[in-house]
Structure 1
Amino acid sequence: AELMDVLFLCYMLCVVLCSRCRCPAHSNSFHGGMKMASSNIRYGEGVSREIGMDLQNLRAQNVCLMTDRNLSRLSPVKVVLESLTKNGVKYKLFDNVRVEPTDTSFKEAILFAKNDSFDVFVAVGGGSVIDTCKAANLYSCHPEADFLDFVNAPIGKGKPITGALKPLIAVPTTAGTGSETTGVAIFDYTPLKAKTGIASRAIRPTLGIVDPMHTLSMPERVTANSGFDVLCHALESYTALPYNQRSPCPPNPINRPAYQGSNPISDVWSRHALHVVAKYMKRAVRDPEDLEARSSMHLASVFAGIGFGNAGVHLCHGMSYPIAGNVKTHSAKGYSVEHPLVPHGLSVVLTSPAVFNFTAPMCPERHLEAAHILGADVRQLKRDDAGAVLADTLRQFLFDLQVEDGLGALGYSLDDIPALVKGTIPQERVTKLSPRGHTEEDLSQLFQASMKLY
């Protein structure tokens, strides 16, 4: 079944509602406007078996298929390979994608892509695989570019992408990143021990094939951490600085960022994703055979991806990058990797109670609504209670899912806070979308408050 008809109807509904909106957040005159962008999405049990026909329809002659070594032995990749073989599609396999990719692992994949003449790219895996494939497509189509040319400023040059890329089909196997819908590719920049990325609508997949059968292979902790990414995507995009309060306006539409701030269209997707997370995430984590719950979380990842892919995220994500980048010895349960790892969703969610307690004064109604969706009774609460109640609701949610007790449980101490703050400062692409301005001292206090949760 296709989601595009539903997406279009919801889009048109939102446009109509937006034209009638007179609320303070959306009634200001703003000559910069906003833009809605997303990949085409196909959803349904078994739809990944159609990918061979999709590649035939694209008249693909030489396909680059990317995945990681663990997935290369599992059902999702086997199903895709069977479809390619059945339909006579020629391909070459790159299965050395790194979980939580780095600049080095990106460059390895880029070199693989440059050494051949691929006309279509296919990514089968989680956000790490899809993001790596986006980068390989981008730089193989711009062989003259330096690696930092398209990387977000201030780490890179943040140049706009003007040349055409090859079609990319993403087959997500986790319910978290939403990378199949977005023009964002995230990696660890090892010289700074912090994450950064590439953000441009030009790199978003042509098609996302969302097959909920693939999520049944996710271990419990992978399911949990992927779900936390969905949770924070929804919360951060819904509470981000409104699009019409951003400045300055880009001088040319090509310079309009992928992350534009909260807006009436993204709000629909983010809010709906939050409802799905509240209803199904605990079930999906606790029962790997609960197809309804895991299918719903797979769709929630798409919904939140459309939301944050246009609105953006803010402090939880900005602070998560140095948390993941400065990892020392933490070994993540459920992940088949040989290096220390703080999974992305975990690094994001551990600061969420402190962050939303901090941002609540700027849009308390939205924070109260989020707490209500996640199960809190907010009927007798005042606007001033918004931050505390959402923080408490998130702590209980994390406790119920047996999440590590704060950054301290990952091996961090108060002595590490200066390095964590230093790693957050370059993440202005997302941190500037916080609805509340912040200083380095504010960041220090947020990291300190996240050392222990319960």
Structure 2
Amino acid sequence: MTYPSDVQLTEETIFTWGAPPLKFGAGALDEVGFELSQFGVRRVLIVTDSGINALGAPQRLADNLRRYDIESEIFDGVHVEPTDDSMNKAVEYARVQGEWDGFVAIGGGSAIDTAKAINLLTSHPGELMDYINKPIGAAKAPPGALKPLVAVPTTAGTGSESTAMCVLDILSMKVKTGISHWRLRPTLAVIDPLLTLSLPPEVTAASGMDIACHALESYTARWYTTFDRKPAEQRVTYCGSNPVSDLWCEKAMALLAQSFRDAVHRGTDADEGALTARANMMMAATFAGMGFGNSGVHIPHANAYPIAGMVKDYRPAGYPQDEPMVPHGQSVSLTAPEAFRFSFESAPERHLKAASLMAPDAEKTNDPREQLPSVLVRLMQDIGIPNGIGGVGYSESDVPDLVPGTMKQQRLLATCPKTPSEDDIADILTKSVENW
């Protein structure tokens, strides 16, 4: 057969999908040394935060690495909800300490994302703003390969162990943004559900809402063929919803329906049911990461960036109380019900399917547009998520200040099948001051 080389394609016909190899199960932490030894590394930086370090898992990891003749050092200066300042300090620490053969991140998304930044900026020249997404940064592509990075999540939420994104707050601009490139994706994801047993219920709830929004936004994102065609050199990490990402998102939503509430309300119990719920949540987080890490997220995440970046005095239970913060999982959930009302007409069948996966036994609403928002609101009420952006310290008068931060996230907004205007975002935020 002959290839029709003269055909001029204007719409996209190609999607990309990628994820790291995965090791999953109770006790998987104790196999990191063996895995890293396969890469011939001899000196490794363990990246974590002080809270996780105090619990002992990083030292246990270091002891395991020593069995395979791998030297390691623990850096526990990760900032929960990292900033450009905290990441720059982490990078500077790593640079001063000399050459590293590889990295292990153990912690939540904050630790994994900080390790991605350290890996990038110790492997190649430049500064954070060189690589941060446009229009905030220059969006340079990493010029070559990075060092091996093993990601060991201790929360079920961000899916950062699966993704090629690194998220941070830019303090001077009061906005959250990130770096997105396939080279940032960890070399291996090691998922040990036992590491989540000590999580407070508030952290489990917030992290779980991040999973939910990852899966829902990915599943309702623009279909990949609706984008303009890109040359190979310009293919981006977020390519739109596609058949492979859909499978992972559907499975993540089904696991959330099965185990989310149990993980919040019984997550610290030692019985088999609680352990199963924890394992299912870890699996859901990774699966959702395998979905949205390729297809993309949209309005709830775009809104979340200024909500977190412009926080006033809110200090959430279950988190460090030394400074105000809105946990990422909370910030993405607060406008999700209204965002999915807005996007419903662009893909009704997907919104309804998502609602049925998240809550198979939910009663049908008279208005199909309300089905998914009502499922989310009931879930958020059940697990103690704040009631809208008003619950974290904002009012309707703050909406004009929040809108510009959302509009800076064009990479995310372009993934929504119904592209929002500034007025649309203002309306979504206003209607999200209270969700019930």
The TM-score by the shorter chain falls in which range? over 0.9
Matched, 1:250 2:230: yes
Decide whether aligned partners of structure 1 residues 50 and 431 sit closer, same or farther in structure 2, where only a CA change above 3 A counts.
Answer: same
**Aligned AA (2:276):** E
Q: 1:425 aligns with which of 387, 401, 407?
A: 407
Alpha carbons 2:30, 2:64 under 8 Å: kept:
yes
Alpha carbons 2:364, 2:371 under 8 Å: kept:
no
Q: 2:88 aligns with which of 107, 111, 124?
A: 107
How many residues align structurally? 422
For the residue of structure 2 that corresponds to 1:322, the secondary structure is helix
Q: What is the CA–CA distance in structure 1 between the aligned matches of 2:252 and 2:419, rounded to whole Å? A: 26
For the residue of structure 2 that corresponds to 1:217, the secondary structure is coil
Give, in angstroms, the shift of residue 374 of structure 1: 2.3
2:245 alignment partner in structure 1:
266
Alpha carbons 1:32, 1:250 under 8 Å: kept:
no
Matched, 1:93 2:77: no
Matched, 1:142 2:124: yes
1:129 alignment partner in structure 2:
111
Give, in angstroms, the shift of residue 73 of structure 1: 1.1
For the residue of structure 1 that corresponds to 2:426, the secondary structure is helix
Q: What is the CA–CA distance in structure 1 between the aligned matches of 2:11 and 2:18, rounded to whole Å? A: 19
2:275 alignment partner in structure 1:
291
1:14 alignment partner in structure 2:
none
Q: What is the CA–CA distance in structure 1 between the aligned matches of 2:112 and 2:118, rounded to whole Å? A: 10
1:228 alignment partner in structure 2:
209
Equivalent runs, 1:218-367 vs 2, <5 Å: 218-247=199-228, 249-251=229-231, 253-287=232-266, 288-289=268-269, 290-367=274-351
Q: What is the CA–CA distance in structure 1 between the aligned matches of 2:369 and 2:30, rounded to whole Å? A: 46
TM-score (norm 1): 0.90
In the TM superposition, structure 1's runs of 4+ consecutive aligned residues that sit over 3 Å from their partners are 28-32, 376-382
Q: What is the CA–CA distance in structure 2 between the aligned matches of 1:380 and 1:271, rounded to whole Å? A: 20
1:439 alignment partner in structure 2:
421
Identity, in percent, stands at 41
**Aligned AA (1:295):** A
Q: What is the CA–CA distance in structure 1 between the aligned matches of 2:78 and 2:322, rounded to whole Å? A: 13
Q: What is the CA–CA distance in structure 2 between the aligned matches of 1:373 and 1:238, rounded to whole Å? A: 11
Q: 1:39 aligns with which of 5, 11, 20?
A: 20
| Per-residue deviation, residues 163-208 of structure 1 (Å, max 9, x unmatched) | 1110100110000000001110000011211100000000110001
CA RMSD of aligned residues (A): 1.6
Matched, 1:169 2:150: yes
Q: What is the CA–CA distance in structure 2 between the aligned matches of 1:147 and 1:344, rounded to whole Å? A: 21
1:373 alignment partner in structure 2:
357
1:160 alignment partner in structure 2:
141
Give, in angstroms, the shift of residue 401 of structure 1: 1.1
Structure 2 stretches of 5 or more lacking a match?
A: 1-8
Give, in angstroms, the shift of residue 82 of structure 1: 2.3
| Per-residue deviation, residues 217-245 of structure 1 (Å, max 9, x unmatched) | 21111111110000000000000011110
For the residue of structure 1 that corresponds to 2:197, the secondary structure is helix
| Per-residue deviation, residues 262-294 of structure 1 (Å, max 9, x unmatched) | 001100000110010011000000012210000
Q: What is the CA–CA distance in structure 2 between the aligned matches of 1:375 and 1:117, rounded to whole Å? A: 50
1:23 alignment partner in structure 2:
none
**Aligned AA (2:58):** V
Q: What is the CA–CA distance in structure 1 between the aligned matches of 2:294 and 2:37, rounded to whole Å? A: 31
| Per-residue deviation, residues 137-162 of structure 1 (Å, max 9, x unmatched) | 0011112x132111100101112223
Alpha carbons 2:163, 2:186 under 8 Å: kept:
yes
Q: What is the CA–CA distance in structure 1 between the aligned matches of 2:197 and 2:115, rounded to whole Å? A: 23
| Per-residue deviation, residues 401-437 of structure 1 (Å, max 9, x unmatched) | 1221111121101111011101111111111111112
Alpha carbons 1:365, 1:386 under 8 Å: kept:
no
Give, in angstroms, the shift of residue 255 of structure 1: 2.0
Q: What is the CA–CA distance in structure 2 between the aligned matches of 1:285 and 1:79, rounded to whole Å? A: 27
1:199 alignment partner in structure 2:
180
TM-score (norm 2): 0.94
**Aligned AA (2:395):** S
Give, in angstroms, the shift of residue 81 of structure 1: 2.1
Equivalent runs, 1:78-89 vs 2, <5 Å: 78-89=59-70
Give, in angstroms, the shift of residue 79 of structure 1: 2.7
Structure 1 stretches of 5 or more lacking a match?
A: 1-27
Give, in angstroms, the shift of residue 378 of structure 1: 7.8
Alpha carbons 1:34, 1:243 under 8 Å: kept:
yes
Matched, 1:64 2:48: no
